[in-house]
Structure 1
Amino acid sequence: MEALEAPLYNPFVERYVLDELKQLRIEQAQAKQELIQQIVDREHKSVDRAVAYATDTVTYFFYLIAAATSVLVIVGWSSIREIKDRVHTLADEEISKLINEYEKRLAAIEAQLQQKTLHIEENREEIERTQEVQSLWLRAQQESSSANKILIYDELLKIRPTDCEALTYKADAVLELDEPQWAANLCHQALKIDKENSHAFYQLACAYTAMEQFDKAMKYLSEAVQRRDSYREELKHDPALTALLEQPEFYGSLNQSRS
C-alpha cells in the first residue's frame, strides 16, 4: 500500500463505507435494545410468578390459621377476636416483607434499564461524532485552499482534541502558508500525545528546514525514517526538504539512521 502513487478510493466509495458503518452501529444499538427488552420481560414474568406464589402461600396460611382457630375455639384456648387480630397482624407482616422485597427488585431492574439506556445514548452520540469526523476529513481532502483546510482541521480538533493525525495534517497546511514555527508547535503537541508518531517527526523536519535550522531538521528526519522506512523515498521528491538535501552532511546522517 505504501508504494501506491495515488489513492484507490474516491468520495463515493468512502461515502458507501460510512453508510455501511452507520447501518452496523444502528443494528447493534437495536440488538442491544431488543436484548434489554427480553431481560425486562423475563424479570416481569419472574415477578408475576413470585407474586402468585406469595398469594397462594398467604391463602394457605389463612386456611391454616382458620383451622387452628376452630380448634382453639373448641378447646377454649383463646377467643375468636384474639385469633382474628393475630392473623391480621401476621398477614400484614408477611405481606409487608413481600412488598419490600419486590420493591427492591423492581428498583434494581429500573436502575439497570437506566444504565442500558445511557449506554445506548452514548453509542448514538459516538456514531454521530464519527460521521461528522469522517465528513470533515472528506472535506479536507477535497479542499484546495490551505487556509480552509486549517479551518476544517480546527473543527476536527474541537470534536477530538487529542487527534494526532489532525494536528500533523494541520501542520502540513500551515507549512504551505509559510508558517514553520506554528507548524513545529503543532507537531510538538502531537508528540506529547503520541511519542512515536512518525508523521509528526517528518513534519518537524520540514518545519525546521524552512527555518534553516538544519541540525534539528536532520535529527527529526532521522527519527521519522527510523519509524517509517518509506520516508527515504518520499523525502527525495518533497520540495519542503530540498534545502536540507543540499546540505553536505545530510546523506551521512541519513545512513547513520539506517544503521
Structure 2
Amino acid sequence: MNIVLKSFLLLSFLIFYTSVNADTPQIKGLDKELKKPLIERYIMDELKDLRMETMRVRNDVDKRISKAEVEQTDRAARYITDTIGNIFYLIAAATSILLFAGWNSLRDIRGKTEEIVENRLDAITQKYNSQLQTLQDTLTLQSKKILENQNKIYNTQYLHSLWMRSNLETNPQSKIDLYDEIIKVNTNDAEVYAYKADAVLDLDEYEWALNLSNKAIEIDPDYGYAYWQRSCANAVLGNKNEAIEDLALAIEKSPQLRDEIEGEVLFENIKESEEFKNLKN
C-alpha cells in the first residue's frame, strides 16, 4: 500500500512541476540550473524509498512462504509418524490375536494353514465325488432304461414275428415250437398258453392241454379263450360237468365264442346235455 501511495505522489509531483514550469516565465538558463539538482535529489530519494519498500515486501513474502513450508513439512511428518504408529498398533493387535488363538509361532501358523487347506480340499473333493457319483448313478439308470426300452422294442418285434409265423403254420408241432419261443420271451402271457393248448389238443394230448389251460387261467382269470380250451379238454376226458361249467364261463367272459360252439368237434360228448343246448342257444 505504501509503495503504491508513494508512486502516486511522485507521479503527481512530476505532473504538477511540469504544468507550473510551462505556465511561469523563466529566466533563460537560470531556472533550469537552479531546479535541476533539487528535482534529481527528490527523485533519487523516492526511488530509494521505493526500492527499500519493495525489498521489505519481498522479505515478508519469503518469510510467509518459508513458514508455510515449515508448517506443511511439520504436518507431513506428524502424519507419517501417526501412520507408522498406527501400523505398529495393528501389528501388535494382530500379534495379540494370533497369540490369543494359540498361534505362537510361524510353525503353528503354517500347520494350521495347511490343516485348513487340507480340510477345504477334502470337503471340495468329497462334494465333487458325491456329485460325480450321483451323475454316474443317473447315467447308469438312464442307460439301463434305454437298454430295457430297446429290449422291449426288440422283444415286441420278435414276438410279433413269432405270432405271424404261428398263424401261418399248419403243423401242430411247429406251432407248439413257436409258442415255446414266445413263452421264453414272455412267460406271463395267458394267450400263448391257451393257443398252445389248442395246438396240443390237435395232437390228442388232452391232459397236457388241460394243464396249459389251467396255467392260462392262473395268469389271467378273465381270459375267456382259456376256459374254452379247458372245456374242450374236459369234454374229451369225460369231465362233462367241468366242461359245461368252463364253457359257460368262456361264453360269459367272451360272448363271441357262442358262435363257435356248433363247429367245435371236441364237444361231441356233451352236445346232448340240456345245459349244453341252453348255452348254445
Range of TM-score over shorter length: 0.5 to 0.7
Alpha-carbon offset, residue 93 of structure 1: 2.8
Secondary structure of the structure 2 residue equivalent to 1:185 = helix
User: Residue 261 of structure 2: SS of its match in structure 1?
Assistant: helix
CA distance change for structure 1 residues 98 and 71 in 2, over 3 Å: closer, same or farther?
farther
Find the partner of 2:244 among 208, 218, 231. Answer: 218
Residues in 2 aligned to 1:124 and 1:182: alpha-carbon distance in whole angstroms:
35
Match of 2:255 among 229, 232, 238: 229
Matched-pair identity in %:
29
In the alignment, what sits opposite 2:91?
72
Q: Which runs of 5+ in 2 are unaligned?
A: 1-86, 99-104
- 2:137 maps to 111
Between the aligned partners of 1:227 and 1:163, the Cα distance in structure 2 is: 17
> Is residue 2:194 matched to residue 1:168?
yes
How far off is 1:248 after superposition? 4.5
Higher relative CO (Cα under 8 Å, sequence separation at least 6) belongs to 1
CA RMSD of aligned residues (A): 2.7
Aligned to 2:66: none
Matches within 5 A, 1:243-254: 243-252=269-278
- Compute the displacement of 1:252 (Å): 3.5
Work out whether residues 262 and 280 of structure 2, in 8 Å CA contact, stay in contact via their aligned partners in 1. no
The 1:209/1:113 distance shift into structure 2, 3 A limit, reads same
TM-score (norm 1): 0.63
Q: Distance in 2 between matches of 1:196 and 1:252?
A: 22
Aligned twin of 2:232: 206
- Name the CA shift for 1:71/1:84 in 2 (closer, same or farther; >3 Å): farther
**For the structure 1 residues 152 and 71, does the alpha-carbon distance in structure 2 shift closer, same or farther, using more than 3 Å as the test?**
same
Task: Please list the CA deviations of residues 123-167 of structure 1 after superposition, one character each: whole Å capped at 9, or x if unmatched.
Answer: 222222222211111110111101110111111112222211111
Structural mapping, 1:1-259, within 5 Å: 71-72=90-91, 77=96, 83-252=109-278
CA contact (8 A) 1:225 1:232 kept: yes
Superposed displacement of residue 188, structure 1: 0.9
Q: 1:97 to 1:213 in 2, by over 3 A?
A: closer
Amino acid at match of 1:146: P
Structure 1: gaps of 5 or more residues: 1-67
Q: Larger radius of gyration, structure 1 or 2?
A: 2
**1:171, 1:183 within 8 Å by CA — same for their partners in 2?**
yes
State whether residues 190 and 220 of structure 2, in contact with CA within 8 Å, keep that contact through their aligned partners in structure 1: yes
Give the total of aligned pairs: 187
Q: Distance in 1 between matches of 2:195 and 2:244?
A: 20
Name the structure 2 match of 1:27.
none
